[in-house]
Amino acid sequence: MRFGRLDLNLLVALDALLTEKSVSLAADRLCLSQSATSSALGRLRDYFADDLLVVKGRHMILTSRAETLIEPVRSVLEQVRSTIAVAPEFDPQTADRQIRIMASDYTTQVLLAGAFAQLEQDAPNMRFEVQPMSTNPIEAVERGYVELLITIDFAVSADHPSHFLFEDDYVVVGDAANPALKGEMTREMYFELGHVTARFGRAQMPAFEEWFTRRQKQQRRIDVVAPSFLSLPGLVLGTSRIVTMHRRLAEQVVRNFPLVMRELPFAMPPIREVVQWHITNNNDRALRWVIERLEAVAQNRVQPMSNVVPIEGNDDVARDAIAVRWQADTGHR
């Protein structure tokens, strides 16, 4: 690389020559041959229009011009080492940084809300921007639109690092006055009742729970389609409809609304939420620190609510096979 007429690679050779005052010793320090080091000295002499090192007796000495270059050259190289070669320390208490995160409203509610409250105490000058999920979230990571993507593990890219945050399963939620929810939820009742579900974007991409239930032999009746996860609870209030929701979100809404939740009457694989970042940010200490805090908040979950009626006999679903089918149907790779 050149700056003006100067090949910046020569600065390292110049520092070694000024320090050792010897072509052979400088060559050893640079791990170069003496001829290559002599060639570097020749180009430096040409650039500075000065001999830099001259023979006096059996030794070489620096010219006056060379003497004036010792500290500036050393200072420049030290600045390069301290700012580029050595990663700066990260102090959350003084860090002034904005981090953009792409996440669903579900993830924002059950994870980011609590995480941001904690991060306000630990990193008071850090700022966060949450962007809604797009139809191509991996592109947002690769183009640098966001620093972090939080989504289900099926939807991340194998080309970039990711880290597991938490697992969540599904429950049935409905109005507390709904007679169908007085006892445990049966499979027959589940498919008889009207359902509320969420779909996203112009393509009306179904949530994972809808995609999975579509693959059941018996189809449910969708009465209401909502644009977000957070709008689901209000759409079953005062109705006989039910909604299949993430357990973590359901545990929150049943505390604040006259709703109850029941276990699903069939096996549905849990989702696994992961955070992904661009591979070029792998050594970003601020991002790694935030990821660690997100994981800590995600793992510190509350105990299940006491109004859950469990159901016996749910068999495990082959997750790998589900992942392949889901990726094929949704276009995620």
Q: How many CB atoms lie within 10 A of CB 249?
A: 21
Separation in Å, CA 134 to CA 54, 228, 245: 66, 13, 21
- The radius of gyration computed from the CA coordinates of the chain, to the nearest angstrom, equals 31
- CATH code for the part of the protein at 2-85: 1.10.10.10
CA atoms within 13 A on the CB side of 268: 27
For 290, the token pair is 């935030």
Check residue 318 and give its pLDDT.
63
Please state the pTM of the whole predicted model: 0.68
Check residue 264 and give its pLDDT.
95
Nearest to 205 by CA among 326, 110, 324, 319: 326
Class of domain 170-269+303-330: alpha beta
Check residue 84 and give its pLDDT.
65
Question: If phi over 0 gives left and psi between -120 and 50 gives alpha, with beta otherwise, what is residue 102?
Answer: beta
CB 138 within 8 A of CB 156: yes
CA–CA gap between residue 106 and residue 109 (Å, rounded): 5
Q: Map out the domains of the chain as residue ranges.
A: 2-85, 98-166+273-299, 170-269+303-330
SS3 for the chain, per residue? CEECCEECCHHHHHHHHHHHCCHHHHHHHHCCCHHHHHHHHHHHHHHHCCCCEEEECCEEEECHHHHHHHHHHHHHHHHHHHHHHCCCCCCCCCCCCEEEEECCHHHHHHHHHHHHHHHHHHCCCCEEEEECCCCCHHHHHHCCCCCEEEEEHHHCCCCCCEEEEEEECEEEEEECCCHHHCCCCCHHHHHHCEEEEEEECCCCEECHHHHHHHCCCCCCEEEEEECCCCCCHHHCCCCCCEEEEEHHHHHHHHHHCCEEEEECCCCCCCEEEEEECCHHHCCCHHHHHHHHHHHHHHHCCCCCCCCCECCCCCCCCCHHHHHHHHHHHHCCC
* Residue partners of 217: CB distance under 8 A and separation at least 6: none
Nearest to 267 by CA among 170, 152, 155: 170
Check residue 224 and give its pLDDT.
97
Let me know if the fold of 2-85 is the same as that of 98-166+273-299: no
* Residue-by-residue pLDDT tens, the chain, 333 positions: 444 456 667 888 888 888 889 998 988 888 888 888 888 888 889 888 999 888 888 888 899 998 998 988 888 887 777 666 556 678 999 999 999 999 999 999 999 999 999 999 999 999 999 999 988 899 999 888 999 999 999 889 888 999 999 999 999 999 999 999 999 999 999 999 999 999 988 888 888 899 888 887 888 999 999 999 999 999 999 999 999 999 999 999 999 999 999 999 999 999 999 999 998 888 899 999 999 999 999 988 533 333 333 333 334 456 666 666 756 666 654
- Judge: domain 98-166+273-299, CATH 3.40.50.970: no
Indicate the angle between helix axes 34-48 and 10-20, nearest 10 degrees: 100
Nearest to 106 by CA among 133, 82, 83, 79: 133
Check residue 127 and give its pLDDT.
96
What's at 148, amino acid-wise? L
CA–CA gap between residue 119 and residue 128 (Å, rounded): 10
242-246 and 194-200 strand pairing: parallel
